[in-house]
Amino acid sequence: MTQQRITVIRGDGIGPDIVNATLQILDKAGCDFAYDFADAGLMALENHGELLPQQTLDLIAKNRITLKGPLTTPVGEGFTSINVSLRKQFKLFANVRPVLSFKGTKARYEDIDIITVRENTEGMYSGLGQKVSEDGNEAEAMSKITREGAERILTFAYEMALKEGRKKVTAVHKANILKSTSGLFLKVAREVAQRYPQIESTEMIVDNTCMQLVMNPHQFDVIVTTNLFGDIISDLCAGLVGGLGMAPGANIGENCAIFEAVHGSAPDIAGKNLANPTSVILAAIQMLEHLGMADKAEKIRHAIKDVIESGDRTTRDLGGNHGTTDFTQAVLERL
């Protein structure tokens, strides 16, 4: 069998520390990948004069599987978000963000197991019609939903639910106010739901969803929604299981997939050995499952679970007082 090559973007801020930790863990678990390292973000701007160099795009296309650290997009200097560019360029239409409770975190709940499936290329993040008036007093942007895009993400969510033995899919929308865009999404959601009678389908308005997630999160199984709502809801879900350090995300397209943490480059703790690498390790677990390497995924998940549950060398956000390197060592010792 030919060796699987993975494109690795270490990223900015805490990125290099948590990605390096993850690569050590993949190697120790015996994954036998070959890595091609590529620059993006601030590092790429320094080294190549652009945020997303062509050689990085070529490597992402060539290997088809990328593991990526968070990237900093400079604010207010006319740069479009690198993440949005990547998602559009590689048509990574589905953003799959699972959250799972681990005992031993400071989370308010136990037994949370929710997957948010976020449409990743349309809606408010399509980047269309961005305008600010000359006097700077008026700003506008366009949100676009297509039947094709809605059907694709909804079908993806139901197929994923079937494959993973999930029982319920909740379509989240704001069709009462955003009648055209969210209205179309809801209409298509109802049509797609008809094709999956074996799965319970529900629908919920986004503001109520946020309240319900805080009050009674156990009612949710799979959530499928449009781009902006999915972005916000998945951070809320991360908060339910102990914060952003616990939240991975997979960006899936027809030809490529990029696995990353939900969080950003955390400049407030960068370079201090304080970051929790679990988010990227869990993203690597998603990558292994995507590659059909479920046994390795389970082995690493088990090691992480044991470290967190026993409180052995955990990071500050998990209630411990250790750093990234000690936490990583605790996981490595269990593999």
Catalytic residue among 62, 207, 272, 295: 207
Q: Which stretch binds ligand NAD (CB under 6 A): 30-38, 99-107, 264-272, 291-299?
A: 264-272
7 binds ligand NAD (CB under 6 A): no
Candidates 205, 12, 261, 231; CA nearest to 119 is: 231
Write down the least CB distance from residue 267 to ligand NAD, Å: 6
* Active-site residue flag, 312: no
Contact 318, 242 (CB under 8 A): yes
CA distance 298 to 128: 41
Single out the residue of 153, 175, 275, 281 in contact with ligand NAD (rule: CB under 6 A): 275
242 binds ligand NAD (CB under 6 A): no
Write down the least CB distance from residue 268 to ligand NAD, Å: 5
Start-to-end Cα distance in the chain = 24
Single out the residue of 264, 290, 291, 329 in contact with ligand NAD (rule: CB under 6 A): 264
Contact 102, 242 (CB under 8 A): yes
Alpha helices in 78-205 (DSSP H): 82-89, 147-163, 181-194
* Active-site residue flag, 231: yes
Contact 224, 189 (CB under 8 A): yes
160 binds ligand NAD (CB under 6 A): no
CA distance 308 to 320: 9
279 binds ligand NAD (CB under 6 A): yes
| Residues that are catalytic | 125, 174, 207, 231
Q: Which residues bind ligand NAD (CB under 6 A)?
A: 14, 18, 70-73, 83, 244-245, 260, 263-269, 275-276, 279, 317
